[in-house]
Amino acid sequence: MPVMLLLLSHLISRLGWVPTAAALVGCSPQYFLAHLLWRAISLPFPRRVYERGDEIMYGLYQSMVIFFFEAYSGVEFVFHGDPMPEHKENVIYMANHQCTVDWLLVDSLAIRQGMVGNIRYILKSSLKRIPLYGWYFKQHGCIYIKRKASEDEDTMKRSLLRFSANQTPMWIVVFPEGTRFNIERKDMIAKSQKYAADHNLVPLDNVLIPKTKAMEACFDALYDYADAVYDVTVAYTGQSDENQERGLPPSMPDLMNWKCREVHIHLQRIPMNEIPTDKEAQIQWIHQQFIKKDKLLKRFYSKESWHEFEDDDVICKRRLPYPKWHVIGSVCLFALSFIPFFATSRGRSVYFLTAMIGGIATVVLS
């Protein structure tokens, strides 16, 4: 019996991610159909009516994501830096990027301000080919750009200006590094540091030199509409070894297999009126913020703590509650959404046809 229990425990520890993947991917066909239905119903009404319904649906889905990310995984979120306002704000969210988990952290912050349905991302164009989701993100208001954001600068600005023109509540999310920082990709880090040396910038060891075009476009289009920039720096426990060498961040399966116990989130809230209006000054400001990130991460991965600062900037360590009943309600709602599809053979046919045809169509149309 002890051997069987040991084997079962080992199996669970390896397959803990399966329920999460099954739930999040499994809900996509009915979410896709619900979105198409709402799109058709809202056609006679002003654009904002469609957006509001879409934000509610997106918020419900992302709340289910948060259930698995925070409750199921058991990961503890530790917040540092400036307190995040409880009232809703229009935000430009700027963060370092290490792994796919970074995307979920935006949900965890936004739900604590009641803005989880209002998140929009600036995404690399290759992601639009993700079946179902890639097409939907565009409908939700996310903006796809090529890796060289300068090629899409005008399109990006027009899309961003629509938020202010329509008075759309939003968190617009930018990862200025343009790709994930990987400590094992020495060539990528060396290329970033060479760029810094060639352009008289401070070389960085724990983040990549930021690409500034997307942030510049956000400043140009949203300067008078956004309330603040949330400059977020993320670190994961368990990355440093006994030699205080930084390792790889957790993957999504790692997180769901309980291999990461704490995620540390440092927030600096900068009001928009403190952001420079001159373009060159904006570029310098972005670089200065990433120098701060580099120092924060260096200190964290040497101690796995932001509690011990040598200067007067004492960071407060906080654990913030999230709306658990709202999150649990969204899980129940999506669980019930399977019933009409799987209760009958016709429902099952509709479900699988939607997944197959919808997936193919969204990739072709992207």
Q: Given this model, what pLDDT does residue 293 score?
A: 94
The one-letter amino acid at 356: M
Render pLDDT for 26-72 as a digit per residue (tens, 0 to 9).
Answer: 888 999 999 999 999 999 999 889 999 999 999 999 999 888 888 77
Render pLDDT for 113-139 as a digit per residue (tens, 0 to 9).
Answer: 999 999 999 988 888 888 888 889 999
pLDDT at 306 over 60: no
* Rg from Cα positions in the chain: 21
Percent of the chain with pLDDT over 90: 38
Q: Given this model, what pLDDT does residue 317 score?
A: 53
Contact 142, 58 (CB under 8 A): no
The closest of 164, 144, 165, 166 to 156, measured between CA atoms, is 144
In the chain, what's the furthest Cα-to-Cα distance? 70
- CA 183 to CA 189: how far, in whole Å? 8
Tokens of 189: 């880090």
Domain boundaries, the chain: 11-365
Q: Given this model, what pLDDT does residue 225 score?
A: 95
Query: Of 91-105, 148-162, 212-226, where does mean pLDDT reach its minimum?
Result: 148-162
Tokens of 43: 């056609």
pLDDT at 238 over 60: yes
Q: Given this model, what pLDDT does residue 92 score?
A: 97
- CA 175 to CA 121: how far, in whole Å? 9
Q: Which residues contact 155 (CB under 8 A, 6 or more apart)?
A: 143, 145
Orientation angle between helical segments 324-336 and 47-66, nearest 10 degrees: 100
- CA 23 to CA 14: how far, in whole Å? 17
Neighbours of 76 (CB within 10 A): 13
- CA 21 to CA 340: how far, in whole Å? 21
Render pLDDT for 75-117 as a digit per residue (tens, 0 to 9).
Answer: 888 888 888 898 999 999 999 998 888 888 899 899 999 999 9
Render pLDDT for 307-352 as a digit per residue (tens, 0 to 9).
Answer: 543 343 444 455 666 777 788 889 899 889 988 888 889 989 999 9
Whether this model's pTM surpasses 0.85: yes
The closest of 34, 71, 41 to 56, measured between CA atoms, is 34
Tokens of 237: 């426990």
